Structure 1
Amino acid sequence: MICQNDNHLTQLVNKAKTLTKNGKVADYIPALAEANKADLSIAIYSVEGACLKAGEVQTTFTLQSISKVLSLALVLMDHGQEYVFNRVGMEPTGDPFNSIAKLETIKPSKPLNPMINAGALAVTNMIKGKTKDEKIERLLAFIQTLTNNSSVSVCERVARSEFNHAWLNRSMCYFLKEHGIIEGDVEALMEVYTKQCAIEMNCYDLAKIGAVLALNGVHPDTKEQVIPERIARLCKTFMVTCGMYNASGEFAIKVGIPAKSGVAGGILAIVPNKYGIGVYGPALDERGNSIAGCKLLEMISEEHSLSIF
């Protein structure tokens, strides 16, 4: 097991936590500005079911962009690869996650990948359901299955805060609608998307999701194949190439494992066939990644030679 025991893991958390003073919480979403930027926690869930924890592990946070991996998995299960990737590309952008620039310069005008906001909006638009409520309920039920925790839910306060300030995302939706990438009512899509981003859990739940992906879609608790193996592999590949915003290349060099971050401070990381890792540290660097969380993963990866490369 990584780090042998909780005490050693706590030492690493305390060492990485000194960086939180250099970060900044995501205050452009008012509800996220309330986070304690000094928080840092981690859970490491082995595919055999053992778990190491350190820091404020019971503190809950919203998934934000981490949810993009999970909505992608669901939509691929709903529609298959050809349908999805006709509407969303597979290439890294090198641009900030909320950039709209590439949509105007590439032909056809479809998002370059599902991990940027434009791509994630297109993916969320593909979730099956007759109503917006049915769509978010299906995604939430899927995530509850992944965590094996029926109490995982949407933080309505964060969702409403995001919905009321999502002007750039709305503009992306209208651009995508103009080019036939998305269909239906934009405000309904924004409600599903903001609730998707506001799904709330703690590090332990997040680590368990990581363990499912580490086992190529098999749940470590139930032994059920909850995500088809090919789709789990696809999701992990996107995490390596695009998962840490426009710092994905640097993260691949320094840490070397599939990971997806969110602006609430969460990081979902995976050591294939071994561990799922959930990290929470709301102090962000300039590219929107948890500044102490990235350092913590870097230290653990270096100490235990976790890089897949």
Structure 2
Amino acid sequence: MNRPQMRTVQKSPAAEVAEAMASAPEDVQDETRYRFFLEPGQTELTVRNIAERLQAAGILADDPRAKDVFARLSAAGGARATLSIDEFRMLFAINPSLFRRVVEDSLAIPDWNLFCRSIGDIFHEAGRATGGKVAAYIPELARVPADKFGLSICSVDGQRAHYGDAEDPFSIQSISKTVSYCLACEEVGAHALHQRIGREPSGHSFNAITLDAQRRPHNPMINAGAIASCSLIKSDQSASTRFAHVFDVWKQLTADRHVSFNNTVFLSERDSADRNFALAYFLRENAALPAGTSITATLDFYFQCCSVELTCDSMAVAAATLANGGVNPLTGERVFSTDTVKNCLSLMHSCGMYDFSGEFAFLIGVPAKSGVGGGIMVVIPKVLGLCVWSPPLDEHGNSVRGIEFCTLLTSKFSFHNFDIVSGASGEKIDPTRRKAATANARIVDLCWAAAKGDTKEIQRLVASGIDINGADYDGRTALHIAASEGQAVAVQYILQNGGNRDAKDRWGNTPLKDARRSGNAGIAELFND
């Protein structure tokens, strides 16, 4: 059937849904939200209903914002334990902002389940990529199994998902350069920092012994630039204080998720550091380090930063913090200023993928930073952060499966920085797009869901504040359309939730009359119950 047409009415745009909920009495809002979590045919809310709906929206049980909610659900007496509306109100009051955004469908990625299924398909396909070798120039890294493959995603609203070996710690290596740059930038200021470190891609390998025309490291995302960044971080403090500072910032970035230090990797890296020592002495010879800088202390600090371990899960939260302008989406804590994050993302976009950076920016088009441990941190500003990890590396030092995943990701979703120019003609999916921006358009969605018998979608739209008796251009309500199409479950749900059985369309027909005219005798009987 054709999608129902809209009657034009005079209403304000996108804020209508929120205004509709806000104008309703509090007890009506609570009842509407209560019904949102019910399955079709249910009259009592269970613990399972709430837990599954939150998780379907991407809010996991270990989310610090929802920790108390899940704890109370766990204490309620099992998945089938029921909750009264008063108990639901108490639960809602723990974090009303989070609950409200779940109910009103206003999180960063509205259809999280659908998005995650697509990501799972991409992850599986990327896992077929072969080739590459595990980094061998740092002996300890060579021992990591080549078949490891993990992925985590975190939206700027804290929606999270994990795939594969996402909980395995890995050595972040050059991904540490992002945080070292941000810390140095916050400490001495961007202007002072870039008098010592450039902002241009070098055109050489990440550990090349070369400087720009002003005798500076080309950028902070290569070894020379990262060593220079480290020389500026708390340079007057002890070695333990400096590293504790970096470690604490990683903890803030990850919402206190897994962050550890691998001393074996540190010792292995230090024992095979001839190239980095050559770089450091070259920097000092060219006055690219502050006067009085200790080469040994600075390199030890640099190696410590590279020997930090995270999981894909914790790194994705850190990436989402950058995507969110420096504010951690799980804690609400500001870690870096917006200017620092802007500068960091600009450098990640142009210089973050070694001497594959230009190709990555052209083909994939998002800020990213890789490390020879096999990790890639990807930031999609104002949308999400992700981390993909697989140890085998290509000739540029980037994860083979990681590059394949990123390529497939931006071929399906409109995440490339310049996908905007393709407009509506593009075939890519925008996962941040809501099904409708206005209440009027959502009434069309309500009617369409009724035609298809999609009771869950009807339930979601009503919970977000849409009038269940809203009408299309011809004055037909969702009840008219469900009755005409023979959608018994949808008719029953609408009738149970305030559907007006006496509503008349422009021809004077009621839903019951439509059911009879369409030959749906079973539907007509529902109106007599």
Whether 2:227 is the aligned partner of 1:121: answer yes
Instruction: Tell me the equivalent position of 1:196.
Output: 305
User: Structure 1 residue 72: deviation in Å?
Assistant: 0.5
Find the counterpart in structure 2 of residue 111 from structure 1.
217
The answer to whether the Cα contact below 8 Å between 1:155 and 1:199 also exists between their aligned partners in 2 is: yes
Question: Conserved in 1, the CA contact under 8 Å of 2:257 and 2:314?
Answer: no
CA shift, 1:155, in A, is 0.8
Structure 2 counterpart of 1:141: 248
The equivalent residue for 1:152 is 259
Does structure 1 residue 303 correspond to structure 2 residue 303? Answer: no
**TM-aligned CA deviation for residue 8 of structure 1:** 4.0
After TM superposition, the structure 1 stretch with the greater mean CA deviation from structure 2, 245-254 or 181-190, is 181-190
Contact 2:230 2:302 (8 Å CA) reproduced = yes
**Letter of the 1:164 counterpart:** D
Contact 1:10 1:55 in 2 (8 A): no
Q: Tell me how far apart the structure 2 counterparts of residues 32 and 3 of structure 1 sit (CA, whole Å).
A: 35
Task: Write the deviation string for residues 224-280 of structure 1: whole angstroms up to 9, x where unpaired.
Answer: 221100000000000000000111111112211110000000001011101011110
Of the three residues 57, 77, 85, the one matched with 2:166 is: 57
Deviation of residue 5 (structure 1)?
A: 5.4
Pairwise CA distance, 1:150? 6.1
Aligned to 2:331: 222
**Farther-moved stretch of structure 1 (145-154 vs 109-118):** 145-154
Structure 1 residues 197 and 3, CA, compared in 2 at 3 Å: closer, same or farther?
Answer: farther
% identical equivalent positions: 35
- Are 1:14 and 2:124 matched, yes or no? yes
Max radius of gyration: which structure?
2
* Structure 1 residue 79, shift from structure 2 partner: 0.7
Determine if contact 1:16/1:296 at 8 Å carries over to the other structure: yes
State the partner residue of 1:93.
202
CA distance in 2, matches of 1:11, 1:266: 20
Normalised by the size of structure 2, how large is the TM-score?
0.56
- Select between 211-220 and 125-134 the one with higher mean Cα deviation: 125-134
- 2:258·2:311 contact (CA, 8 Å) conserved in 1? no
How far off its partner does 1:178 sit? 1.4
Query: 2:353 touches 2:368 (CA, 8 Å); kept in 1?
Result: yes
Q: Is contact 2:319–2:387 with CA below 8 Å preserved after alignment?
A: yes
Check conservation: 1:5, 1:52, Cα contact below 8 A.
no
Unaligned stretches of 5+ in structure 1? none
What is the total number of aligned residue pairs between the two structures?
Answer: 305
Please report the RMSD computed on the Cα atoms of aligned residues, expressed in angstroms. 1.4
Q: Is it true that 1:209 corresponds to 2:318 in the alignment?
A: yes
1:6, CA displacement in angstroms? 4.6
Q: For 1:257, what is the secondary structure of its paired residue?
A: coil
Counterparts of 2:257 and 2:294 in 1: how far apart (Å)? 30
Which runs of no fewer than 5 residues in structure 2 stay unpaired? 1-108, 419-529
Q: 1:163 aligns with which of 263, 267, 270?
A: 270
What whole-Å deviation, never above 9, does each CA across 1:187-233 have from its counterpart, x for those lacking one? Answer: 11111111100110100111101111111111111222211000000
Question: Residues 199 and 189 (structure 1 numbering): CA distance in 2 closer, same or farther, change over 3 Å?
Answer: same
**1:208 alignment partner AA:** V
Give the letter for the 1:206 counterpart: M
Tell me, yes or no, if the aligned pair for 1:208 and 1:276 is still in contact at 8 Å. yes
Letter in 2 for 1:293: G
Aligned residue type for 1:107: A
The whole-number CA distance in structure 2 between the counterparts of 1:226 and 1:185 is: 28
Contact persistence 2:258–2:314 (CA under 8 A): no
Which residue number in structure 1 is paired with residue 179 of structure 2?
A: 70
Measure how far apart 1:82 and its partner are.
Answer: 1.9
